[in-house]
A and B are shown apart, each in its own frame.
Chain A
Amino acid sequence: MGDSQYSFSLTTFSPSGKLVQIEHALTAVGSGQTSLGIKAANGVVIATEKKLPSILVDETSVQKIQILTPNIGVVYSGMGPDFRVLVRKSRKQAEQYHRLYKEPIPVTQLVRETAAVMQEFTQSGGVRPFGVSLLVAGYDDKGPQLYQVDPSGSYFSWKASAMGKNVSNAKTFLEKRYTDDMELDDAVHTAILTLKEGFEGQISGKNIEIGIIGADKKFRVLTPAEIDDYLAEVE
C-alpha cells in the first residue's frame, strides 16, 4: 500500500529495540478522552466521555460508540478519524465472514482480524500506526466478552479496563469495585461512577455515551434519557 516512493516502513526499531512510533501512538491514545469497559456476569457495558469542542456542535451528529455487528460494539480513546477507518474495516470483515460461513462472526475472530489490520499499519510502507485503542464488547456463544486492542495490534481479554486521560485513576477505581458476579445493571452504575471520578464539569446524558449488551445478544447505545435515569439512580 502507498506510493512506491514510500515502500519502506516508517516504524522501525530504535537501537534499544523499541518501536518508537507505536509508543508515540500510545501517547496519543493517553491524551484522548477517557473510555472504559466492564464485563458483568450477564453482559458487557462500555462507556466514554463525549466532550465536544463547543456548544455549537450538534451532539446528536456525533456517536463515539459504534456497532460492528448486532452483537458486537466498540468504543475508542484517541484519534476519532482513525477510529472511523477501523470501524469500517471491521464491519466489512464481519460481513465477509458471515458470507463465507453463514453464521455471525465470533467476538474473538473479529478482534483478531481488527488487531491484524492495526499491526499491518505498524509494518507496511509509508503509513503510520493508528492513534487509537479499542474496547470491543460482545456477546456470543462463549458468553460476554471484553477485549482491548492497542495501536501495536496486541489485544487482551479484560474483566474491566479503561483507556485515555484518566486511565490510572479509573483502573484503580475499577479494581476496587469489580466483582466476578456483577450484574449488568451494577456494571452500568460502576461505569458511570468511574467516569464521574475524573470528569471535569457536570456529568449528564449529553456528555457521556454508554453502550450495553446483555443476554439478548443485542448491542445497543443508550439514549441520553436512559443515561440520565441511571445517573439519577447513582446520586
Chain B
Amino acid sequence: MSRGSGGGYDRHITIFSPEGRLFQVEYAFKAVKAAGITSIGVRGKDSVCVVTQKKVPDKLLDHTSVTHLFPITKYLGLLATGVTADARTLVQQARNEAAEFRFRYGYEMPVDVLAKWIADKSQIYTQHAYMRPLGVVAMVLGIDEEYGPRLYKCDPAGHYFGHKATSAGLKEQEAINFLEKKMKNDPQFTYEETVQTAISALQSVLQEDFKATEIEVGVVRKENPVFRVLSTEEIDEHLTAISERD
C-alpha cells in the first residue's frame, strides 16, 4: 500500500500534493460553490447585514424549514453558505461552544472568538486524515462591546478575517468586485444603507430583482444588539426603497 504523492492519495485525504497544495481543501471550496447560492455581508457604522438567496427547489417543501441563517446565541448570527448538512453540524457545535463559553466565563462569547473557534476547528480537519473539511463558508456577525459591529468570514481552509464587506458562494468574485467599488472610500453606512447595499449587491450580481420570499436577511444593530432575521414585510420595505431609489 503506497502512501504519499506517488500513491495519488493527496486527492483523497488532506496530505500535501507535490506542489504543496491540499486538494481536499480546494475541493471543499468547490463544494461551497456547487451549492449554487450566493451570500453577501456588509458592515455599516453601527450595524451588520447579511443576505442570502432562498431557493426552495420543490413547491411541496415547507419553505419555513429552508434556511441558511442561524442564530448561535441571542447576539451572534451565522450565515452558512455551502453544503447544508455540514452547515447544520457546524451550527450545532457553535451553539454548544457559545453556551459553554457563557457558562464558563460569565460573559457572552465575542464575535471574533467564535470566528476563531470555527476557523481552528476547520484547521483540524485540514490536518487530520480521519475527518474531511466541511464544505461551508461561515459568516459570523454581531456587535462587539469594544469594537462595535463586526463581520467575520471563516472558510474550509481554516482562514478567518474581519471584513468591511464580503461575499461567499457561486458568484463570490463578482460580488466582491461590486462591493470593493462601493466600499472604496470607507463609507460609514447607516442601517438602511447597509441593508440596501447588501441586497442591491446580490441583485446586481445575480442580475435579477428579488421578491421578498426569495431572499433571507439577517441583521444586528448597535441600538439593539440582538441577531434578528427580517420578516418578509421588512424585506419588502427595503426592496421598495431600492427600486424607488434607482
Contacts and interface: CB of A to CB of B under 8 A. Distances in A.
B49 to A, nearest CB: 14
Nearest to A81: B158
A27 B20 contact: yes
B123 A82 contact: yes
A56 interface: yes
B18 A27 contact: yes
Given A61-B161, A82-B123, A24 B130 contact: no
Nearest to B15: A128
A85 B123 CA distance: 8
Interface of B: 3-6, 9, 13-22, 43, 112, 116, 119-120, 122-123, 126-130, 152, 157-159, 161-166, 176, 179-180, 183-184
A3 B161 contact: no
Contacts of A60: 162
Given A5-B130, A21-B5, A55-B184, 9 more contacts: A8-B3, A14-B4, A14-B6, A57-B163, A81-B123, A82-B123, A85-B127, A128-B22, A128-B127
Interface in A1-28: 1-3, 5-6, 8, 10-12, 14, 20-21, 24-28
The 9 A-B pairs at the shortest CB distance, nearest first, are namely: A61-B162, A81-B158, A28-B20, A27-B20, A24-B16, A3-B130, A81-B123, A58-B162, A126-B129
A202 interface: no
Contact of B128 (A2, A29, A84): A2
Given A24-B19, A28-B20, A10 B3 contact: yes
B161 A81 contact: no
A30 interface: yes
23 contacts: A1-B128, A12-B3, A21-B15, A24-B18, A24-B19, A25-B20, A27-B18, A55-B183, A56-B164, A56-B166, A56-B176, A57-B162, A58-B43, A58-B163, A62-B161, A62-B162, A81-B120, A81-B122, A81-B157, A84-B158, A128-B15, A128-B16, A131-B22
A56 B183 contact: yes
Interface string A14-54: 10000011001111111100000000000000000000111
Interface in A125-143: 126-131
Nearest to B157: A81
Given A56-B165, A80-B159, A127 B16 contact: no
Contacts of B163: 56-58
Contacts of A14: 4, 6
Given A62-B161, A81-B158, A24 B127 contact: no
Nearest to B16: A24
A21 B3 CA distance: 10
Contacts of A81: 119-120, 122-123, 126, 157-159
A84 B20 contact: no
A28 B119 CA distance: 19
A31 B179 contact: no
Interface in A71-99: 79-82, 84-85, 88
A155 interface: no
Contacts of B43: 58
A29 B21 CA distance: 10
